[in-house]
Every structure is written in structure tokens, then in C-alpha cells.
Structure 1
Amino acid sequence: MLDQGNTAFVLIMAALVLFMTPGLAFFYGGLVKAKSVISMMMMSFGAIALVGVLWVLYGYAIAFANHGAGTNVAGIVGFFSIDWNQIGLGQAFEESQASTINAAYPSMAFVGFQATFAIITVALISGAIADRAKFGAWMIFSGIWVTVVYFPVASWVFNLTSGMFATWGVIDFAGGTAVHINAGAAGLALAIVLGKRVGFAKGAHKPHNPPFVLLGAAILWFGWFGFNAGSEGAADGVAALAWVNTLAAPAAAVLGWLLIEKIRDGKATSIGAASGAVAGLVAITPACAALTPGWGILLGFLAGVICCFAIDWKYRLGFDDSLDVVGVHLVGGIFGTLYLGFFANGSGLIFSGSFEQLGKQATAAAVVGLYSFVLAFVIGFAIEKTIGFRVKTEDEVAGIDTAVHGEEGYVLYEERDETPISVR
């Protein structure tokens, strides 16, 4: 018989993860200048719309080819393959409509849960090109990238039936490689392709709305419990461990980030608190079910410290990652993935005395990072050289909300004559 409790669990967790993308819109929207907030938030909502459709049409068929009862699989199984029976979710629909289902949850519940991962991974990339990207070009990039990069990588990581990483013995419970390293590497590639913002320099671009940033971080943290605990697919002890680590690690990361800010700059900031929380959430994602909470706290604290320093690397290396997708998601994702090589229960170095797990983790991080960076660079470069990816300089300076979307984020109206006064 179908386990209705676990079915409800998976569906609720899926809703929490979907809520993360609007949360990301607030987080990113508050970090950009006031004249770019609509553009920034629209990139997240565009990802929901486009990726949601593509996942149903063929994304699941690629990411979970040969999963369950897949019988019509073509391609290189474990690397890039497609289950033709799942195009349009035909087979998943039939399985979910069966009168007797002997499973923890119907196939459609799993389909919905995994769709939300694809959506937010694409949305994360947008932070690297804030303030200067065309919306149409972004949507084209998103559709191509999610098809040739995210869907296959999700198969490597999450398809436990035939996925490449499952075969290798890589530990990535909730997507440190598939989501964060993947998005971070793509963000780096696009930041290089689009070039620096006008006036790019340390301290030149201030967040216009810190309350938005804190609100977005809070929504992300809330949704992340679904992200991590929901990856177990059952309301059991493993999910409970993932939940506790999802509380403890980002909490410790906030402390680590704020400590560095206080020592280095003399002030602990709200932006630092929000960024520290996200850094800790990123780092614990692959490790949430493989660490005791004590090791989870250490992971979070170190992630907060490391990512706080990492966000300044862009000024030294000369690339303009607008909202620190590289410094938080790529660096945090790599750190969390490698940390398992030392502290994963049972297989980490301190438990096994072997570097074998570390080697597996490092290989997985390198494969995903390189694959995503190269293809994202090629796709982004092709778009830039054809239809153009970056807005005109004058539109960037004036504010791309009006130029791209014909809207402004903040408009006041005089009480008497209702004359709009743009807030700059």
C-alpha cells in the first residue's frame, strides 16, 4: 500500500524548496541597486516558469533515465541518457494513477520534488550577472544550460539507480555538487563572458535594501529544511539528522562570518549575517546526513569564515561576480563536499584512516565544476556574440529595470496630483 505519511512529507518538502526561489529573488533583489531590483527578481521568476515546463517535458526523462521501471532508455547510461517513456511524464503519470501502489510515495511526488532543485539551481546563477544582463538572453541561456548541464549532472548525483556518482561512491546527500558547485561554476563563466559592471570596484556597489536581503535569507533557510531533510524521501531518523544539521551549520556560519567582519572591519553587518547563513546552508547541503551535529557546527563555522574571505577574491582576480555566487556557492559547495572526505561518518579520514573518500569527493567536485564552467562559457559566449547578452552601457547606468522591463521598483505618488516621483 502507498505510504500516505511519506507522500505528504515529500509533497510538503517540495513546496518548501519551491518557496526558496522567491526567497532567492528577495535575497538577490535587495543586494542590487534600486534601479535593477525588478530585473534581478524577474530572473528568478523566469527560472521558475521556464525550468518548470522543461522539467515536465523532458528534464525528468534525462535526469532519471533508467530510474525505477525505465525500459526505453537511449544514450550513455550514467552520463547522458534519456528515457523516452518519460517524455511528458507519461510513465510517471501511469505509475501514479495505478490503483495499487506499493511504495513510499507515488512517482509524481518525486518528480515534483526534484523539479524544484532544477529551478533554484538555474536561478542561483543569475546573481553573478546582476545589473547588466538582458532578460531574453538570460532565458535562452537558462533553457540551454539546464538541458545540457543540469539535467545530466542531476542524473550523475541523484539517480541512485544508474548515476555515475552513486557508482563511484561519492557522498552528496542533497546536491552540493549538482546545485551549488554546478551553479557557482556557471556563474563564474558568465561573469567572465559579460565582463565587469560600469564602475566596478570594491565598495562601489552597495545593497539597496538590506531588509529584503534578510527576508530572502530567512525564506531560503526555511525552505532549505525541505531541501535537505526532504532528500531522504521519508520522515525518518536520517531526515531528522539532516534537519538538525540544517539548523546548526548555518547558525555557526553566521557566527563565523560576523566574527571575521568584526575583526576585519570593526562592524558586524546584516548583509554579513544573511550571507553567512547562506554559506553555511550551501556547505551543509552535501553533508547533512553524513555528519554528527558537532562536526556539522564545525563545518558551518569554517564555511562562514572561508566564504567571508572568498567574496573578496573577485577584486584580486579581476572578475565581476556581482552577488558572490562564486564566493558563496562555488567555494562553499566545494568546501562542504571535500569536508566529507575527512569527517563523513564511517568513511571519512578520521574514521577510516584512508584518503579514499576524499579522493572521490574531490573528483566529483572537479568533474561537475569543469563540465559546468566550460559549457556555460560556450553557451554564454555564443549568445553574447549573436543576439547580445549584456545590456547597453547607457541602459546599465540609467537602470535596466526601465530599459528591459518598462517598470521601476520604487515609485512614490504625490497625494494631490499623483505625479510619479522615481526614487533613486
Structure 2
Amino acid sequence: MDSGSIAWGITATALVLLMTPGVAFFYGGLVKATSVVSMMMMSFGALGLIGVLWILYGFSMSTVEAPERFAGNPFTQFGLGALAQGETANTDLVGAAFGATFAIITVALISGAIADRAKFGSWMVFAGVWATLVYFPVAAWVWGGGWIMSLGTTLGLPNVIDYAGGTAVHINAGAAALALALVLGKRVGFQKGIAKPHNVPLVLMGAALLWFGWFGFNAGAEWLNGLANVGLIVVNTLGATAAAVLGWLIVEKIKDGKATSVGAASGAVAGLVAITPACANLEPGWALLLGVAAGTVCAMAVELKFRLGFDDSLDVVGIHLVGGVIGTLYLGLFAMDTGLFTGGGLGQLMVQTIAAFSVLIYSFAVAFALGFAIEKTIGFRVKNADEVAGIDTSVHGEEAYALTTES
């Protein structure tokens, strides 16, 4: 492979890695000032743990030799030693590193659903086991030769389209987030307006880092394809996200009378989520429509937790699960050449639906069982008194802001 393509692969890997600190800033700004260290540490903890597990056995599990297999053999490339000695070591190892960044951010996304009330050690146990049982196998299903990747061929229909992770990343994380929100229960005093973002500029900075890094997230894999579709991917990532900002702000203005900066940031993330699976398979006009739809629907979906009574602290379900489903199913309607309204039939929508809801159900079931087991053994939720006071001091012995009255 030429050096320019490898250079883009390294750059894209760095961009996607930066997205996890972006999540930390985004989530950290949304919680109260006495919980921001805890919130950000859940992202950085995932960065450390999942990065190590991916190199040890996650990469091996993410590729299967036959569609009917659940996951790859974790010992095939254990520690990546053999990969490092092959003739194509540079390409293979950059690919492995790129894949690691996706695993890391998928786990980090889940943490927003349990903000303000989770023990760090219990979170780390959950993160490691969930990645092993869910993310690594699902990555194999979607991208590594597994049953979702071959679903269209099996059924005589178009292949499932998930270019950058609508199913494997966003639906996967969103379903697990819903499960943990149910297991840990509601925050003390849960109601609409329970907590205001303590640092709005931090939220906006996190959203900006996410948008910046997302160009690596969506266009990164093009280094393996000779950058054949990189222009389309880049313009769709820009356009859908921008349109989603507008969609969210319009809903806010109509519903609450004011368009907020946090709403703009949330709309951007919703648009990024929705375009993730579809970035390489939509004409730009249809990408704009997807962005508007995602921003509008997700802005309304985040209110469901109050009506349905589950406490998804930072709207992981309303943004990532809902946005991921929208982006994945939208391809069944408007994917170039195969969408229902773009020259195809119902086949694309059928395979997209099967893939989306299979991952949703599997991730939710495993996350719920795992979260329940942790809660009943070592405990997952902090004491109510620590939650009310803010868990930074009790869990980490740190404060985000050293406030002083000294002049």
C-alpha cells in the first residue's frame, strides 16, 4: 500500500481516538460540577481498558472465518505478535489500531446513561465484560465476515449497509445504555430539570471535538479503498450534521421558546450518529434530509425518559439508539441504487431492519444481565448520600474545580 494511504490511516486513527476525550468533555459539561471527574474518568477508563483488551484478544474476536460463527478465536492473533511479523505488518497494524478506537468509543458512549450514580470499579468490570461478550462479536458480525455482513447474500437480497457503525457502535451502545439505566434506577429526585449542565462551554468543546474527529470515524476506512469515496463521505458528514443542528434548534424553539447552545451541540451529535452508517451510500441531498430528520426526531425522543420513567442521564438512548436506528433504516429507503425510493425494492429495508434490531436486542439483553449481576454482587450504584453530594470526592478523591475564597 502507498505511503499516502497509510498516512491517512494513521491520521484517521488519531482523529477517532480524540473522539473519546471529546465524549468526556461533552458528557462532563452536562453533569453537575461535583460529578464531572467521575463522568470523564469513565471515558478515560474505557480508553485504557478497551485499548488493552483489543490488542490482547479483541482484534482476534472481531474477524470470523464463517458467517455462522459467533466470534473469532481470541487466541488467533493474541497480542498481535504474529500480525507484527507479517509481510503486510504496517497495513495490518494500522488497521488494528483503527479498529481499537471504535471499540473504545463505543464503550465510552454507554457511560452517559448512568452519570452521577455509578461506581468506577463496577463500571470497569462492566466495560471489559460487555466489550468481550458484545462489542467484539458484533464487530465481527457487521464488518468481520459474520452473519450480518453476509445476510443479504444468504437471503438473496442487497447486502446490509453499515459503513462506519450505525449498528455496531450506536445502536449497540444505546441499547446497553438503556439496559444500565434500568438496572441502576433513577437518580435521587429524578424529574425534568433535575440537573443543569454545569459547564456549557465544555459541552460545546466536546461536541466540536466529536465533529472534528468524526471525519476520521466516517472517512477513515477509505485508506483501505484507495480513498475512492472519500469526497462523498466528507460532504455527507458535514451536511447531515449541520442539518441536524437546525432540526434540533427548530424543535427547541417551537417546544420551549428558545434555541439553546446545548441543543445545538446535541443536534450535531444526533446528525453525526445518523450519518455514520449511511455516509458512503447517500447522495448529499438525501444526507441533508437525514440530518434534519435525525435532529428533529432525537430532540423529541430525549423527552421519552420522563414519560416512560427511565433515567438515561445524558440522553444516550434518545441520541445514539434512536439516531442509530434512524440512520440504519433510512438506507432502506434512500441508499443509492438499492433504496426503496432510489431504484431498489424492499430488500434493503428488510436487511437493515433485521440487522438493527438483532444488535439492539442482543446488546440490551447481555448488558441488562451483566449490569444486574454486578449490582447484586459488588454493587454498581453509589450510596444515595454520595450521589446527592456529588461522587467525585467519594469515588476518586478529587474535585474538578479547586474553589477558594482567597484574594
TM-score category by the smaller chain?
Answer: over 0.9
- Aligned-partner residue type, residue 17 of structure 2: L
- Aligned-partner residue type, residue 147 of structure 2: M
Deviations 1:91-128 (A, max 9, x none): 21112xx3xx4x9x610010000000000000000000
Deviation at 1:353, TM superposition (A): 4.4
Superposition map of 1:17-416 within 5 A: 17-66=16-65, 77-82=68-73, 84-95=75-86, 98=87, 101=88, 106-159=91-144, 162-168=145-151, 169-234=159-224, 236-415=227-406
Q: Is the 8 A contact 1:157 1:163 kept in 2?
A: yes
Aligned to 2:94, what secondary structure does the other structure show? helix
Aligned to 2:111, what secondary structure does the other structure show? helix
Q: Is the 8 A contact 1:78 1:155 kept in 2?
A: no
Deviation at 1:411, TM superposition (A): 1.4
Gap runs ≥5 in structure 1: 67-74, 417-424
| RMSD (Å) for aligned C-alpha atoms | 1.4
Deviations 1:176-202 (A, max 9, x none): 000000000000000000000001001
Aligned to 1:137, what secondary structure does the other structure show? helix
Q: Is the 8 A contact 2:67 2:147 kept in 1?
A: no
Relative to the length of structure 1, the TM-score reads: 0.92
**What does residue 71 of structure 1 align with?**
none
Deviations 1:364-418 (A, max 9, x none): 00100000000000000000000100000000011100110011111123446xx
CA distance in structure 2 between the aligned counterparts of 1:412 and 1:142, rounded to whole angstroms = 33
CA distance in structure 1 between the aligned counterparts of 2:339 and 2:278, rounded to whole angstroms = 11
CA distance in structure 1 between the aligned counterparts of 2:320 and 2:172, rounded to whole angstroms = 9
CA distance in structure 2 between the aligned counterparts of 1:313 and 1:355, rounded to whole angstroms = 30
Aligned to 2:73, what secondary structure does the other structure show? strand
Which sits farther off after the overlay, 199-208 or 37-46? 199-208
Instruction: Sort the Cα spacing of 1:219 and 1:199 in 2 relative to 1 into closer, same or farther, 3 A.
Output: same
Deviations 1:218-269 (A, max 9, x none): 0000000000001223452312211111100010000000011111111000
- Aligned-partner residue type, residue 349 of structure 2: L
- Aligned-partner residue type, residue 18 of structure 1: L
Percent identical among aligned pairs is 64
Q: Is the 8 A contact 2:222 2:228 kept in 1?
A: no
CA distance in structure 2 between the aligned counterparts of 1:200 and 1:232, rounded to whole angstroms = 44
Q: Is the 8 A contact 1:254 1:280 kept in 2?
A: yes
CA distance in structure 1 between the aligned counterparts of 2:149 and 2:85, rounded to whole angstroms = 27
CA distance in structure 2 between the aligned counterparts of 1:154 and 1:330, rounded to whole angstroms = 17
Aligned length: 399
Instruction: Sort the Cα spacing of 1:76 and 1:385 in 2 relative to 1 into closer, same or farther, 3 A.
Output: farther
Relative to the length of structure 2, the TM-score reads: 0.96
Deviation at 1:352, TM superposition (A): 2.9
Deviation at 1:5, TM superposition (A): 1.0
Instruction: Sort the Cα spacing of 1:76 and 1:344 in 2 relative to 1 into closer, same or farther, 3 A.
Output: closer
